[in-house]
Amino acid sequence: MTRFVAGRIGVYTLIAVLLAFFTIPLLWLATAPFTSDPSYEVRLPDFTFENFQMIIEHPYALWSLVNSLVLSIGTAVLVVVLSALAAYALSRVRLPGRDALLYALLLLSSIITGTAAMVPLFQLAIELNLIDSHTGLILILSGGLLPAAIFMIKDFMDTTPKSYEESARVFGASPLQIVAHVVVPLVRPGLATIAVWTVANVWGNFLMPYLLLSDVDKQPAAVIMYTLYTEGGQANLKVLSTFGLLYSIPVVIMYLFVSKKYGFRFHGGIKR
Amino acid sequence: MAAIELKGLTKVYPGGVKALDSLDLSIPDGEFFALLGPSGCGKTTLLRTIAGLETATGGNVVIGDRDVTGVQPGGRDIAMVFQDYALFPHMDVTENISYPLRIKKVAKAQRQAKAGEVGARLGLEQLMDRRPGQLSGGQQQRVALARVMATQAKAFLFDEPLSNLDARLRLEARTFLKKLQRELGVTTVFVTHDQAEALAMADRMAVMEAGHIRQIGTPSEVFQRPANTFVASFIGSTPMNLLDAVVRGDTLEVAGCEVPVPALAAGLLTDGEKIVYGVRPEYMTYTDEPADGSLSGEVIIVENLGASHLVTLEVAGVLVQAVVPEGREPALGDRGHAVPRGDRALAYRDGELVSA
């Protein structure tokens, strides 16, 4: 009995330590923006809004959040639409070497938006006149994310029974109608997952926008955060913490919204 | 309404599997037609080829007076109920039933009115707002039927329509389907692996084996005069007695006993010929007393079938089965005599029925 209690105490202590490890930075993020003189420790804030005032007055900070939204939503829309169509085709059409193609794409995609392709991508963007353009960046980010997205969505499509589509086909639905009326609603949780994953990816991506957007007006939050220093070259914790909080809120809201709306549900309709 | 005509229909799957081998079949307008066979015999492939979900390798499919061999499923003016019903899980019953009309760009109000009308006919009024996941198996089946009825198609195709229902419901659904088909009068082809289902529901049926049709006929014809030993052993809830026999003049020598030559084969057999003698257990009369032309042996198994018993006799090492009415079943170990009905007994030469 004592051993059991001791064991339990040990387990809970370990959990508490682990939790603290993750909670303390979050607590800091929650309190520091409201503190007039934040440091690296977690303190009870004195509830000042001075720091927010500074962010509002910052010439680029709020716009950078808008830029982040434009980039991530644009990329998400492109990735969801294209990956759904591609995955449907790959899931339903028998192509020789289909799986090899998918794996090759998956492998290469990590290179596209990785450090290795930095120089060629930059040159490509210059040649195509896509430097300093959100469109260009969205295209490149989509290219990097699409293979993994196709891979994930194809998995969803592979598990949906074909008889749904055949049924729609017999009623005369065209392939695009089948996708819109039947396939997309069936894999909606998967599409939502892809959308969230894409937004989170783009939201946190630093390298690509840093490389391809030199105009400060167009840079997203992840890049602007990098510039939040004091004149002395020290990290400006007041602005940094406040901006960090603002930067994380949209992503948190998105997760909550999507999990509430598209939480995984099974509807039935196929008798097994 | 339309007849369905198949001419030399062949389907070879990639890899060389011949699922259908030059099939000819014609199903007149308004008929309730069953495709029956063991799994893997090609019956579902045949149905899917009629639907256009599989493309024929050779031959023609004619629906009505139109050759639809190369036409997409949607253009064939047919409707299909799938084995799993394939109701769209994200649509409610109304939307499911009216989906074919949505494809045909019928206005929404009209669509819903039609769905309500068809749904009411099948007793679904209370369920129109439900999703398929909230329906029982029988209700799902009725929604699937309502959906094909809403299409006004010329022919209906049902793939194993009853196999997903439990045994009790299956019997009710059988009667219901037959009545519905009669009322609608739409040419209907259904696939089943259950011979009792095919016998009960179909106007005519085709028994298939390995991509070939082994017999086409009404349920009575197929039951009473199976054209070959495959059909004979496949049809019937109790398997037909198929016994090796030798022709001895006007009688047959079967398992050491003498029985008369079947009426159907009279005059068509040659003396000394080896044939297979077939008679259904239902067409055997069991007696305790020795009788002329009977198969006599020891009772080794008695199975209760409800209103009757299936008695298995061991006759000179061969098992012979007979159906005995309730109350008259023998005890194990009794010596019994089974007299075949001469007009129902059959003779098979090389697996094919001997008849004029």
Picking from A167, A172, A267, the nearest residue to B104 by CB comes out as: A172
CA A87, A89, A94 angle in degrees (round to 5)? 115
User: A95: which 2 tokens?
Assistant: 């192509």
Distance of CA B171 to the CA centre of its chain: 14
A231 CB-contact burial (10 Å; exposed 0-12 / middle 13-18 / buried 19+): exposed
Return the axis-axis angle of helices B137-150 and B167-184, rounded to nearest 10°: 20
pLDDT class for A70, splitting at 50, 70, 90?
very high
CB distance B237 to B319 below 8 Å = no
**CA–CA dist B98, B108 (Å, integer):** 9
> Would the CB atoms of A170 and B104 count as touching at under 8 Å?
no
Q: A166–B74: do the CB atoms touch at under 8 Å?
A: no
- How much is the pLDDT for A267? 43
CATH topology of domain A53-262: MetI-like fold (1.10.3720)
Nearest CA in chain A to B137: A271
- Over the stretch B40-64, which tens digit does the pLDDT of each residue have? 888 888 888 888 888 888 888 888 8
| Partners of residue B99 in chain A, C-beta under 8 Å | 168, 171, 181
The chain B residue lying nearest A186, using CA atoms, is B90
Mean pLDDT of A210-224: 86
Calpha distance B262→A121 (Å, rounded): 88
| Domain residue spans of chain B | 4-230, 241-353
Res A264: pLDDT: 46
A164 and chain B: CB distance < 8 Å anywhere? yes
Nearest by CB: B103 against A172, A267, A268: A172
Which CATH topology does B4-230 take? Rossmann fold (3.40.50)
Region(s) of chain A under CATH 1.10.3720.10: 53-262
Mean pLDDT of B70-77: 85
Nearest to A267 among B52, B104, B133 (CB): B133
CA distance B95 to B22: 40
* Residue A79 near residue A194, CB atoms below 8 Å: yes
SS3 (DSSP) at B141: helix
- The answer, yes or no, to whether residue A266 has pLDDT greater than 50, is no
Average pLDDT over residues A36-55: 81
> For B164, which residue in chain A has the nearest alpha carbon?
A271
How far does A85 lie from chain B, in Å, by closest CA? 20
- Helix, strand, or coil here: B106? coil
pLDDT at B113 (0 to 100): 87
Cα B156 from Cα B187, distance rounded (Å) = 6
CA atoms of B4 and A161, how far apart (whole Å): 29
Distances, alpha carbon B71 to alpha carbons A164, B43, B55, B150, in Å: 20, 21, 9, 22
| Residue A161 token pair | 């029974």
**Residues of chain B contacting A181 with CB distance shorter than 8 Å:** 88, 99, 102
Tokens read off for B182: 């009669």
Selected residue of B90, B95, B148 to mutate for chain A interface (largest A Cβ count, 10 A)? B90
A169 touches chain B (CB under 8 A): yes
Interior/surface letters B161-182, b for 16+ CB within 10 angstroms, e for the rest: bbebbeeebbeebbebbbebbe
Question: Which chain A residues are within 8 Å of B164, Cβ to Cβ?
Answer: 271
Of A164, A172, A271, the CB nearest to B88: A164
pLDDT tops 50 at residue A82:
yes
Which CATH superfamily groups domain B241-353?
Answer: Nucleic acid-binding proteins (2.40.50.140)
